[in-house]
Each structure stands twice: as structure tokens, then as C-alpha cells.
Amino acid sequence: MAAGASALPHHGRSAVELLITAGPLLLLWVLTWPSYRWGHVALCLLLALPAAGFLVRLFMIQHDCGHGALFRRRALNDWIGRVIGVLTLTPYDYWRRTHAVHHAIAGNLDRRGIGDVDTLTVAEHQALGRWRRLAYRLGRNPFVMFGVGPTYLFLLQYRLPVGRMTKGWGPWVSTMTTNLAIAAVAASMMGFFGVVPFLLVHVPVVLLSASIGVWLFYVQHQFEETDWSPTNEWSMAEAAFHGSSYYEMPPLLRWFSANIGVHHVHHLCSTIPFYRLRRVVLDHLRLGTIGRLTLHQSLRCARLALWDEGHGRLVPFGSLRA
């Protein structure tokens, strides 16, 4: 597939997309403050839902910056990504490097473990001891995967470059400067609004957006008919076509997720701006039939846990009994 002009960002469009995402997020955050002061806690929580949606979209814009897809100048992408990273609690440069590894090895059965969801094969799971098997099952529990896991990832794991200690100063500089900026912004907000009000308003938005973000990332590769291959059979194009989903969501959810559901196209050409991904599918109709998941179908993906090498598909734990 030739990306052609679709791979080129339009600076005006990119700037507008950034403004119509960051602006409403700020407005919703400000509106939660009088709601809290007037005792409308339920309204605060209600406003947290759309605010989380805008924060997810802001993260997806940061994701485009990491691929150099928002603007044509690399430096502009990087600095916008770093600023957004303070709001999304994500050290941009550290995340960008690990995400690049994910794109380079996605679907490679022999190179799992960086930038993806930990997934064992059926044989690997059966070879584990009882306690390690229990730990893996606990980690794949939907409550942990989409509740506890996102909280740990964004609030704790991203605060230190765990697992990247030998990669030089880059991961440390990225995480520590992001941490300092987060601390400065949080301290300023707490000083102005108060500690408890800030936490009650902001923490629900962060946790909800983290869970949504992890779910979106999960269904991009964790679906029954995905594709994992050993190195000698793996190719990046095949992994993009058959190992990444086309998550077809309703228009509103598609907008808030910045078309990240068109993930097979994104893996084929990661420099295509998010606002042009759907146009690629419309121009190449066959892409709309590959790896397609509807919102209803995606809910069944939560129970998938193991790669069945014999049948070439992801299966739930229940399949072991069968």
C-alpha cells in the first residue's frame, strides 16, 4: 500500500486538532472546580468522563508526535510531545523509544515483552510452577489488567525507567524532567485550589483515562485472530496486516480515540497523521475487512490470555480444560 500524500501532516489541521483537544480538556477541568465547591460531587464525577476522553485523545496526539506524524519538523513534534507528556504523566522520550521497539517487533513470538501486553503461549503457561501460573492468571484478570494495571503504569512505573537501567542517561533524563514538571504543575494547582479538591477532581480523570487507554492498546493486538510468528516466519507487513486490529467504533468514540482503532494501517505506515487514517481505509476498502472488530465483539477479547501455537490464535484459560 502506498501512503502517498496521506502520510504528510497538514500543519494547520494538526494545530486545530491540538487546540480542540487541549481547550475543552482545560475547560472541563475548570468547570469541575465550582461544581466541587458548591457540593455537586456527582456533577464532578460526571464531568470527569468527557474530561478523561479528551485526555485520552491528547495522549493519542502525543503518540503521533512520537512517530513524527503531527508536524513535519521533528523538533516541533518532540517538544509538543514532551509538554503533553506532563499532562498524560508519560515521559515522552522514554516512551517514544520503547514504543518504537514495539513497532519493530510486534507479532514476533521470539521478541515479546517490550511495549506490549505480556502474553504466554499455552506450552509456556503449562511449564510454569503453581505460583507463577497463579501470578500470570492474576495479571490477566480484567480487573487487574484494566483497573490496577493502568494505575500502576501511569502513576508508578512511568516515574522510574524500570527495566531500562542499562540504556544510558536518556531514560533517566526523560523520566526525571517529566517528574519535575508534573510535580511543579501539581504543586501549583494544589496551592491554588487546595490539596484535597485537586486530588478529588484530577485523580478520577487520570485513572479513568488510563484504563481507557490501556483497553484501546489491548484490543489493538489481543484479539482471537491476531498473528504471532517466530522470527524465521515473521515479517513487519504481515504482523501489521494480521497482527493488528481494525477496531471499528461509533463515530464519537472514534473521534475521542483519534482513529487509533485503524491500527493495522498505523502499523503499516506509522507516519500517517491520525486524522487521515480512516481516509486510507475508505480509499482501500479491503483494509476494512482485515482484523475488523466491532465494539461488541471487542468485549470478548478481555477473556483471551494465551497464544495457542497449534491453532494460531489467542485462547482463554478455559480452553486448557477443553
Question: 188-224: buried (b, 16+ CB within 10 Å) or exposed (e) per residue?
Answer: ebeeebeeebbebbbebbbbbbbbbbbbbbbbbbbbb
DSSP state of 148: I
Instruction: Enter the C-alpha cell of residue 230.
Output: 517466530
> Grid coordinates in use for 253?
468514540
How many domains are there within the chain?
A: 1
Least-confidence region, from 32-41, 56-65, 168-177, 286-295 = 32-41
* Banded pLDDT at 87 (limits 50, 70, 90): very high
CB neighbours of residue 141 within 10 Å: 14
Res 202: pLDDT? 85
Q: Is 256 helix (H, G, I), strand (E, B) or coil?
A: helix
What digits encode the pLDDT tens for the residues 66-79?
Answer: 999 999 999 999 99
Q: What is the pLDDT of residue 5?
A: 54
pLDDT at 60: 97
- The domain of 186 spans 4-321
- 3-state SS, residue 26: helix
